[in-house]
Amino acid sequence: MRKGLFVVLGLMMSAMSAVPVSAGDHVMQATKGAKSQESRAESQESRAESQEDAALQDGESAYRNTLTLSLKEAQDYAVEKNRSMKNASLAVEEAYAQRWQTIAAMLPQADGSYSYSNYLGYSATLSMMGNNVNIDMPNVGALGVTASMGINGQGIVGVLLNNIAIEMKKLSKEQSESTLRGSVMSSYVSVLALQSIAGLLDSSLVNIEGLAEMTQNAVEAGAAEQTTADLLRVRVNSIKNSINSQKRNIELAKSSLKVLLDVPVETELVLTDSIEAILSPEKMLQLLGANFDIHNNLNYQMLEKSTELAKKNVWMAGWAYGPTISLGYNYSNQHYYGEGGMRMTPPNTVQISVRMPLWSSGKRAAGVVEKKIAYEEAKNTLSETGDQLGIQYQQLCFNLNNAYETYLNEKDNIEVAQRVFASATEKFKYGASSNMELTNASNDLITAQSSYVQAVLNLVNTQVELEKFLNN
């Protein structure tokens, strides 16, 4: 506004000094021009503010679509958001609901009823000592309440079976979580490894492109052959293809990680941990030095619960010989709409009954034998699995040792291949090495990079398997 006033005053002064005779007309024109400039300035300012607000909104949207995670944060995020984990939690809740159904079946159950009967003026005729007596049948309404409960040994054992089922569902959820964390770790490290290789290929491409340009200049100056420049251009295209392939692999690995995290495809993932921090020697030594307790293994715990379930099934079959005790109460109230009516039913009735099975032609006995055999099979499987898990632990430790040694070797190989490629590049600049030597060095570097990625993934997978086995 201040700028607008200064403009108005300046224009008024200039108009009045230039043409004194028609000063008033020029003042009016100057005032209109100043107002126009002021409105244009305000319009530009408002557009700038709207553009700034739009930029801020875009920035906020970009921030919302960006997820920055360490490995631990990614694993925790997946456990919280992944639909499979949500289903595992729902399965536990479902097992609790099933247990309550079993308990509630042994608790009192009550039902209410009401009925109305209209006999449409019918009269009953009774013959007594040669005389017929007509009895009117009045309309009647009957209210009834029935309460009952029954309990037996099988019902009690059923609750114990439901308790075991709940524990098995919890173990299954824990197994799902362990598997999910391992999958997130594998995908996370895969992205990091592919990104590191893409970076190495980018630096190699810069060097080869510089050599190709230099060689082409030498060809134009008559100091080199066109064949050499063409071979370098082929090598440039080959590295570009490798880079594009790596970029696609990175996006594919990120998509796999997004599926595990259950985030939209357009979300940008920023991974903050490094491969060296995840695959550190300290973590490997700590994992290899962990004490193996077979009872911490989730698969063994699941088999223990299955064996316990088989034992309880023997109890369930045995209780088929047991009695069933039932308690019932019945309340009945009849109301006659009219005269007459006979109340023959007592309003309150209590019933206690005991039902005992006597003979089933050996069916119950065969059921008990079947469950006992299944229990023996479960015990044998548990014992055999215990022996196998000890051998499996040794094998997993052996695999991890081999994978870590291979990883260190491939890491060293890729560093050597980089130095050889850098040396070949430098020598080629001064004509001390041939195009073939440069090509071989480039191929060796790409091969070393591929072997390095495979070694990283193999190490991660063996580490995940051992962690799941130890339930760490």
pLDDT at 46 (0 to 100): 52
Last residue within a domain, chosen from 41, 61, 81? 61
Do 88 and 200 belong to one domain? yes
CATH of the domain at 379: 1.20.1600.10
Cα–Cα dist 24/12, whole Å: 9
Q: Based on the fold, state whether residues 294 and 406 are members of the same structural domain.
A: yes
DSSP H stretches of helix in 221-278: 226-261, 275-278
Q: Is residue 129 part of a domain?
A: no
354 domain-assigned: no
Judge whether 387 lies within some domain. Answer: yes
Total count of domains within the chain: 2
Q: Are residues 56 and 186 in the same domain?
A: no
Whether residue 202 is found in the same domain as residue 288: yes
Same domain? For 157 and 56 the reply is: no
- Per-residue pLDDT, 192: 92
The predicted structure's pLDDT at residue 298: 92
Element (H, E) at 69: strand 66-69
User: Quick one: pLDDT at residue 375?
Assistant: 95
CA angle 178, 196, 182 (to 5 degrees): 5
Predicted pLDDT at 22: 36
Q: Are residue 155 and residue 272 in the same domain, yes or no?
A: yes
Full domain range(s) for residue 180? 69-109+151-322+359-470
Indicate whether 50 and 157 sit together in one domain: no
Q: What is the pLDDT of residue 172?
A: 94
Question: And the tokens for 291?
Answer: 């004490």
pTM of the predicted structure, to 2 decimals: 0.74
Supply the pLDDT for residue 47: 53
In the chain, % helix, strand, coil (3-state, to 5) comes to 70, 15, 15
Residue 380 lies in a domain: yes
CB 271 within 8 A of CB 191: yes
Do 27 and 98 lie in a common domain? no
76 plus 160 within the same structural domain: yes
pLDDT along the chain (472 residues), means of 10: 36 37 38 46 52 44 72 94 92 95 92 88 74 78 91 91 95 94 93 88 84 84 81 86 90 93 91 89 85 90 95 92 91 77 78 89 91 95 92 93 93 91 84 80 86 91 91 80
Q: Has residue 315 been placed in a domain?
A: yes
Q: 101 with 159: CB under 8 angstroms?
A: no
* Angstrom distance (rounded) from CA 438 to CA 297: 52
